[in-house]
Amino acid sequence: MKIAKLSDILGIINKIAPPGLAESWDNSGLQLGDPTAAVSRIMVALDATPAVVESALASSCHLLVTHHPLIFKPQKSISTATPQGRLIHAAIKGGLAIISIHTSYDIASGGLNDLLARRLGVGGCVPLRPSPSPELVKLVAFVPKEHLERVRTALFPHAENLGAYRDCSFAATGEGTFTPLDDATPFIGTVGSLERVPERRLELLVCRSGLGRAVKALVAAHPYEEPAFDVYPLLNEGEKLGLGRVGRLERPVSLADFAARVGERLPAPGLRYVGDPAAMVEKVALCSGSGASLLRDAVRSGADCLLTGDVKYHDARDAEDLGIALIDAGHFSSEHIMVADVGERLQSMLTESGYPDCEVLPCRVEYDPFRYCQAQ
């Protein structure tokens, strides 16, 4: 039975929420933990609250995956005199690592905003505020044929998806030559004589921001003392990604009916909305969490309504002035759906990666901190 290390799990989580996608102000990724530590139980939650950390420790978890970052601002001290300090101490004492996926997962194809759109029947989505396309490079490595699969498998977590396809690579047959010099310790061949080796030319697309990690994985998996590899800049445009989504409902419905649908399907017991209840909604912009700042992007996209959380009074007045409907489903309700999604995807990717005994549990103790009068 293969035992997963925290670094193995991080590699898998990076496929769900690629770190290169995170907004510059964000702090997603590994928050706390020893990358070499063994992990056989994982909990997924929206926030690393004291109750969540306590639940993860009581369930003998070694890793907590959260949406919101544990550490958002630089810390000057980690003291048990503060709530966050106590939480960090408790996690370290209990051997609990924490990884947060935040804006990487918000923006990722198949991430939180795509999940929200699917849940609400909004199809044909494109990003509401597109990010600049990621810079892509082609990584080409020359590998002895017996080691092709080992090197290819090590590089898959770093390869870019092609649309809905992951693990994309190409390998061609060829012959490598080299003469080991006096100070070499060759894996194949002898010092001073020309060696000819059947090799494979392995090619993968890699995001420029992840190239360093990919080369490190290549060098670790390659049998040669000096693996040969090339990096080519590409003119290909990467996948169009960005904050929020805009798409269409299968058929137009009234704003009141769409709001009721959102309230039911998330569920969102504290939902409120701005606009004429009888106005028809077909094109929908959405952004999980706090997305009222995307109101003008929603207007530019031609959407009939923007659905998000954390809407303020003046956002509501702006929406009225701009003639767009605005639905506030609540920060918690628009994002808590990530717990089941990330849990299920992580579990199936762990099984595919040869760690079927590594168990993923959804956190059961989270709740919306806001109480809504009509729901009581």
Of residues 127 through 166, those in contact with Zn ion by CB under 5 A are none
Minimal distance, residue 322 CB to Zn ion, in Å: 24
- d(CA 235, CA 215) in angstroms, rounded, equals 21
Q: Which residue is nearest to Zn ion (CB)?
A: 289
> Quick one: 289 or 330, whose CB is closer to Zn ion?
289
Surface-to-core class of residue 246, CB atoms within 10 Å of its CB (0-12 exposed, 13-18 middle, 19+ buried)? buried
Binding segment for Zn ion (CB under 5 A), chosen from 70-78, 191-199, 223-231, 289-297, is: 289-297
- d(CA 122, CA 247) in angstroms, rounded, equals 6
The neighbouring-strand residues paired with 275 are: none
> Quick one: 288 or 353, whose CB is closer to Zn ion?
288
Minimal distance, residue 157 CB to Zn ion, in Å: 26
Minimal distance, residue 331 CB to Zn ion, in Å: 6
> Quick one: 169 or 293, whose CB is closer to Zn ion?
293
Of residues 329 through 368, those in contact with Zn ion by CB under 5 A are 335
The neighbouring-strand residues paired with 139 are: 204, 231
- d(CA 151, CA 271) in angstroms, rounded, equals 50
Binding segment for Zn ion (CB under 5 A), chosen from 145-153, 176-184, 286-294, 349-357, is: 286-294
Tokens of 71: 């550490």
Minimal distance, residue 20 CB to Zn ion, in Å: 20
Binding residues for Zn ion, total number by CB under 5 A: 2
> Quick one: 8 or 47, whose CB is closer to Zn ion?
47
Under the binding rule (CB under 5 A), the answer on residue 289 touching Zn ion is: yes
Under the binding rule (CB under 5 A), the answer on residue 19 touching Zn ion is: no
Minimal distance, residue 289 CB to Zn ion, in Å: 3
The neighbouring-strand residues paired with 288 are: none
> Quick one: 62 or 245, whose CB is closer to Zn ion?
245
Q: What are residue 368's phi and psi, to 5 degrees? A: -70, 125
> Quick one: 104 or 353, whose CB is closer to Zn ion?
104
Could you give the residue ranges of the DSSP H alpha helices within 188-291? 211-221, 255-265
Nearest to 66 by CA among 100, 22, 97, 90: 100
Binding segment for Zn ion (CB under 5 A), chosen from 21-29, 277-285, 327-335, 367-375, is: 327-335
Minimal distance, residue 75 CB to Zn ion, in Å: 20
Minimal distance, residue 146 CB to Zn ion, in Å: 47
Minimal distance, residue 283 CB to Zn ion, in Å: 24
Under the binding rule (CB under 5 A), the answer on residue 244 touching Zn ion is: no
> Quick one: 200 or 331, whose CB is closer to Zn ion?
331
Q: What is the DSSP string of 192-212?
A: TS-EEEEEEEEEEEEEGGGHH
Task: Spell out the residues 6+ positions from residue 200 whose beta carbon is closer than 8 angstroms to its own.
Answer: 142, 143, 144, 145, 148, 171, 172, 173, 174
Q: What is the DSSP string of 110-158?
A: TSHHHHHHHHHTEEEEEEEEEPPPPPEEEEEEEEEGGGHHHHHHHHGGG
> Quick one: 73 or 251, whose CB is closer to Zn ion?
73
Nearest to 131 by CA among 247, 266, 24: 24
Contact residues: Zn ion, CB under 5 A: 289, 335
